[in-house]
Amino acid sequence: MSRVIILLFLIPVIGLISCSKKPRYILSSEKMEDVLYDIQLAQTLSDDYEIGLYRTEDKEALINDVFYKHHITKEKFDSSLTWYSDNMEDYKKINDAVTQRLKNQIEILRTTTAKRYDRNDSQLMPITFTLKPETPLLSFALDSNMLRNIDLTLIDWHFKALGASRRNQAEAVIEYTYPDTIVENVVKIDHNQEYTLAKPDLNNNLKNIAGYIRLVSKNMDSNILLYNINYMDSTIKR
């Protein structure tokens, strides 16, 4: 008799657990946070007047690139958003985390800009730059005089791209010149992500570092935002 009572007691408990369990097709909290963060960042940056993404289809393309980056479909995201909207406690935690990450990103940009000006090398590369038909090229160079005043172990070329896709492409090229050879590295920019330009062994024989990032697509409405542009390693993690 007692066994029956125990079983009857467990049935509603199991039912409650199964009802609150997240369906398998719903994005995990960590994945949902990453997707929402990238969507919010894309929307914020695309609204910047310097980028000039005025057309609805251009902004939609940015959001679709976020889905492509995370290997999900819009339908899967919409279903997940609906589920989290019905589970407000989980949604609030995710939203608070996204908000904090955006605040941290703004602080990183401010700190990086301040450090750039403190080093008095702000003319080497801007923090942000928009590749478009009117400004299709961003070039940079470190000559031998500049290299003598730099800790070569800290050189680390990296930037983030927004608006890059298979339709809107760019490329980054960097050359390391030594007395007897030139080492070249070429990177295709066709996704919204962070890019790091590989570097060879840097030593005192290095004479020059030069390169450029250029717009490859010939579309009149091409716009690719480069941001968090930096060439020096830092304790700040992006």
In percent, the amount of the chain with pLDDT more than 70 equals 75
Residue 67 above 70 pLDDT? yes
Could you list the residue range(s) of the whole structural domain that residue 174 is in? 121-232
Q: Is 65 inside any structural domain? A: yes
- Give residue-wise pLDDT tens across range 190-205: 988 899 988 888 887 8
Q: What is the pLDDT of residue 61?
A: 72
Long-range contacts formed by 104-111: CB under 8 A, 24+ apart:
105/41, 108/228, 108/236, 108/238, 109/227, 109/228, 111/236
Residue 154 DSSP code? G
pLDDT higher than 50, residue 235: no
pLDDT at 30: 93
- State the Cα–Cα distance between residues 2 and 68, nearest whole angstrom: 55
Instruction: Indicate whether 207 belongs to any domain.
Output: yes
Total number of domains constituting the chain: 2
pLDDT digits (tens, 9 = 90+) for 122-167: 446 777 888 888 889 998 888 888 888 778 888 888 898 888 888 8
Range with top average pLDDT, 54-58, 69-73, 121-125: 69-73
pLDDT at 183: 92
Angle between helices 56-69 and 29-46 (to 10 degrees): 150
Last residue of a domain, one of 59, 83, 114: 114
User: Is 170's pLDDT higher than 90?
Assistant: yes
134 and 103 part of one domain:
no
Residue 72 and residue 55 share a domain? yes
Same domain, yes or no: 137 and 215: yes
Q: Which residue has the higher pLDDT, 90 or 167?
A: 90
Residue 158 lies in a domain: yes
Indicate if 75 and 133 belong to the same structural domain.
Answer: no
Mean pLDDT in residue range 165-182: 91
* Of residues 228, 231, 197, the one with CA closest to residue 111: 228
